[in-house]
Chains A and B, each alone.
Chain A
Amino acid sequence: MHPFEYAAPETLDDALSLLREHGDEAKVLSGGQSLIPILHYRLARPRVVIDINALPLGDIAVRDGRIGIGALVRYHRLEESAELARHCPVLAEAARLIGNVRVRTLGTLGGSLAHADPAAELPAVMTALDARLGVASASGRRTVAARDFFTGPLTTVLAADEIVTGVEVPAMSAHGWAVEELSRRAGDFAIVAVVALIGLDRRGHVDDARVAFGGVGDRPVHAGAAEDALRGREPTAEVLARAAQAARDTLAPPTDAFVSGAYRRHVAGVLCRRALTRAVERARR
């Protein structure tokens, strides 16, 4: 690794003023599971590494039907938290799919969102949930909708002096949910991932649908077309299949050296149908 200066602020304000001072010559270190390999490969050469692991951003709090999750909550906590299991189980299921056990020990929610890998699970989950991201800089705080946050491969709306402080998601314990993923091997980044949440009204018709894809573009894709095809309808097998098809038809995934766009598109349709089916089963229970 290149040499760098290391700072470990203990308050958010200290961290933000360091970021303001160093701008794009600094890199923020949380879990390190994405940043440190980049430094080993010498793909980035920050002058300063700002280690934010001491900041008080590690809480999970449920209040008024909304769940606040701090940016420093580790993946394994998302997996194991009793509160999330009760109020937002889709997050626990997604976290279980991330990387390997060591990545889940240290990797953080905020880190995953800021890193914005198009094939990562959590950006897709936040997009499906229509989460709100808390963002802070030395100038103040703002909230960004997850659906507006990701702007390209490894790119977000974050300015050089901003960090994600946490997310807020609705508590959706009555919803059915599912995460479906296809990857080359169990712990790999997804070739395609689908996150689906379904809420049913008293007649058993869909009154809320939230669907998002990962791995099919340069950022998570909010499958509005699928949601529209479901809302108000009885979720029969044909309705789900048509919704999945509608979602698939809006996709134009890229072809890379490993996987073709056509295959991604096909798989997206299959996994979407499977995710919707499982989400509906869960919603009915």
Chain B
Amino acid sequence: MIARLVLNGRPREVDVRPNQTLLELLRDTLGIFDVKEGCDEGVCGVCTVLLDGRPASSCLVLAAGLRGRAVLTLRGLERDGGLHPLQEAFIRHGAVQCGFCTPGMLLTTLAFLEREPHPDREAIRAALEGNLCRCTGYTKIVDAVEAYVRAHD
């Protein structure tokens, strides 16, 4: 089957198996490791992509069903080979330990801030409730997002 998608701004057509998920398409076929495999049931968030601008679990999307939709992974954020200011904020505030949850946290945060640009800490936590982190305890992640929000007010 042919999967049709716009991946990080580029239209792509890729040969896929009917039972191949978007996560498998990205990692196994295209060698894009921005998305990770953590639970295969949409709970942990490490496979998060933005699908037409909204967070989705790529482990639960069949590649064949994409029908030309836009898929954004972390490398889609890069500007002129540099990091996005939210990525810089994560680094500066120690919001990264093992890093496995980080791509999902970043994408989910950006999609959330598009809809709610001035959240308080409680709203940030509620927005990230679907992205599990086992290392940081979340405090520094919220610090980083809050700092980014303030800097971009």
The interface of chain A, by Cβ under 8 A from chain B, is 1-6, 8, 29, 32-33, 36-37, 39-41, 49, 51, 53-54, 76, 99-103, 105-106, 186-187
Contacts of B19 in A (CB 8 A): 1-4, 6, 39, 49
Q: How far is the CB of B138 from chain A (nearest CB, A)?
A: 13
- Contact, CB under 8 Å: B18 / A32: no
Q: How far is the CB of B38 from chain A (nearest CB, A)?
A: 12
With both beta carbons as reference points, the residue of chain A lying nearest to B51 in the complex is identified as A105
- Contact, CB under 8 Å: B130 / A100: yes
**Neighbour of A101 across the interface among B41, B43, B67, B127, CB < 8 A:** B127
Given contacts A3-B18, A4-B19, could you give 15 more A-B pairs where the C-beta distance is less than 8 Å?
Answer: A6-B62, A6-B64, A6-B65, A8-B65, A29-B65, A36-B59, A40-B40, A100-B130, A101-B54, A102-B42, A102-B48, A102-B55, A105-B51, A106-B56, A186-B129
With both beta carbons as reference points, the residue of chain A lying nearest to B67 in the complex is identified as A54
Give the interface residue-count category, chain B. 20 to 34
Q: How far is the CB of A24 from chain B (nearest CB, A)?
A: 19
Q: A76 vs B54: C-alpha distance in the bound complex, in angstroms?
A: 10
B118 lies within 8 A of chain A by Cβ: no
Mask: chain B, 99-115; 1 = CB below 8 Å from A; 0 = not? 00000000010011000
Q: How far is the CB of A264 from chain B (nearest CB, A)?
A: 23
**Contacts A4-B18, A4-B19, A105-B56 known; A32 to B62 CB distance under 8 Å?**
yes
- Among B42, B54, B57, which residue has the most Cβ atoms of chain A within 10 A? B42
